[in-house]
Amino acid sequence: MKATITAVGGFVPSYILNNDAITAMVDTTSDWIEKRTGIKERRIAKNDDHSTSYLAVAAIENLIQSYEVDPLEIQGLILATATPDYILAPTASKICEKSGLLNAFGFDMNVACSGFLFALEMGATMIESGRYQKIIIVGADKMSSIVDYQDRNTCILFGDGAGAVLIEKAVEGYGIQKTILKTDGSGTDSLLVPAGGSKNPASLVSILHKKHFIYQDGSYVFKKAVASMSEVCNEVLQENEWTKEDIDWVVPHQANLRIIKAVSDNLNIDFDKVKVNIEKYGNTTSATVPLCLWDFKNDFKEGQNILITTFGAGFSWGAACIKWGVMRRRKNEKSKVNQLQSAECLS
């Protein structure tokens, strides 16, 4: 038995923070940002009430409204996020309540930019065990809540958003294949929020020194991301006995367009096969991969081979192979069927 994605949903805030607006905050240019990152704009949750749970609930609502899904049949929710609503009190609990997932357990998982892939693997194993039938995986982050908009190194990169998928038992031959996940704690100090946890609790000093914002050693993270994603992709293809010619689509973490292109070059995969939406959303951390799945859902066809790869703080990274399965019927498709049936009856 394998698990497969049967429905997708997504949400991004309406407010657009483009590169021109960034140049009014820090010493940079719109052309420089786009050339170095591939980002033209990012979505920001401006409303104080629009926390990570709000973004996640909106993505789940989009999924439920788009497909034939009964929220009461959902048995579990795994939230991948680096920006929970609270340090104590799982954000997933609030999401279950607000989304009407009244029969589902829920918990948070923080693996930063690799969170969605790690959560997908955990959810898939739950389905494969036979003990669960329907689990929703959400990647959601309000990165604007931990970005210092006076720090040119980070404020140009991040945006807010959420993506969600429903996973269920796959039709034989389809579904999530073998996945490889990795971590390397030695890279922790190169990408983190230094204060606010148990190691460095919030204090007047930590606030004055801006230790509650994200810090990144950009050049080191860039090199490590390219090398790690390239290596793990080759490993997972070998593990699944796939070749690069077998790949129909690559869905990479959207951290930097130059990273994505470098990984594509290292794998010798045509860049036309690589799904990219970083120019619209920036790096939404846990949400980048599910937002890509949502944005390009119409391109993924039954039986196609999809390679997903991520890299994030921790360091954490991984890759997964998916033979795209049978999706649930979309509600608008059912409506069209009913309209045709009604027309036939009238004729």
Does residue 332 register a pLDDT over 80? no
Lowest mean pLDDT among 74-78, 110-114, 343-347: 343-347
Q: Would you call 345 a catalytic residue per the annotation?
A: no
Does residue 70 register a pLDDT over 70? yes
Question: How much is the pLDDT for 334?
Answer: 53
What number is the average pLDDT over the span 18-40?
96
Q: How is residue 60 written in tokens?
A: 């789940």
H-assigned helices in the chain: 19-23, 30-37, 52-66, 91-99, 115-128, 152-155, 204-208, 218-239, 257-267, 278-281, 288-295, 331-346
Q: Would you call 305 a catalytic residue per the annotation?
A: no
Alpha-carbon span 326 to 223, nearest angstrom: 37
What number is the average pLDDT over the span 131-143?
98
Does residue 133 register a pLDDT over 80? yes
Question: How much is the pLDDT for 333?
Answer: 61
Choose the catalytic residue: 62, 240, 283, 305.
283
- The residue segments making up the domain with residue 201 are 1-347
Measured CA to CA in angstroms, residue 135 lies from 53, 67, 127, 319 at distances of: 17, 15, 8, 20
Contacts of 225 (CB under 8 A, 6+ apart): 255, 256, 259, 311, 317
The model's confidence at residue 345, banded by pLDDT at 50, 70 and 90, is very low
What number is the average pLDDT over the span 314-336?
87
Alpha-carbon span 30 to 21, nearest angstrom: 9
Choose the catalytic residue: 96, 233, 253, 321.
253
Choose the catalytic residue: 113, 155, 233, 321.
113
Between these two residues, 258 and 46, which has the higher pLDDT value? Answer: 258
Which residue has 């898939």 as its token pair?
A: 124
Does residue 48 register a pLDDT over 50? yes
Alpha-carbon span 17 to 44, nearest angstrom: 7
Residues 304, 323 contacting (CB under 8 angstroms) = yes
Q: Would you call 155 a catalytic residue per the annotation?
A: no
Arithmetic mean of pLDDT over the chain? 95
What number is the average pLDDT over the span 195-206?
96
Question: How much is the pLDDT for 68?
Answer: 92
Question: How much is the pLDDT for 331?
Answer: 87
What is the model's pTM? 0.93
Question: How much is the pLDDT for 336?
Answer: 46
The model's confidence at residue 151, banded by pLDDT at 50, 70 and 90, is very high
What pLDDT, in 10s, does the model give residues 272-315?
A: 999 999 999 999 999 999 999 999 999 999 999 999 999 999 99
Question: How much is the pLDDT for 25?
Answer: 95
Read off the CATH number of the domain in which 177 is found.
3.40.47.10
What pLDDT, in 10s, does the model give residues 176-193?
A: 999 999 999 999 999 999
Count of the separate structural domains present in the chain: 1
What number is the average pLDDT over the span 117-127?
98
The model's confidence at residue 49, banded by pLDDT at 50, 70 and 90, is confident
Contacts of 338 (CB under 8 A, 6+ apart): none
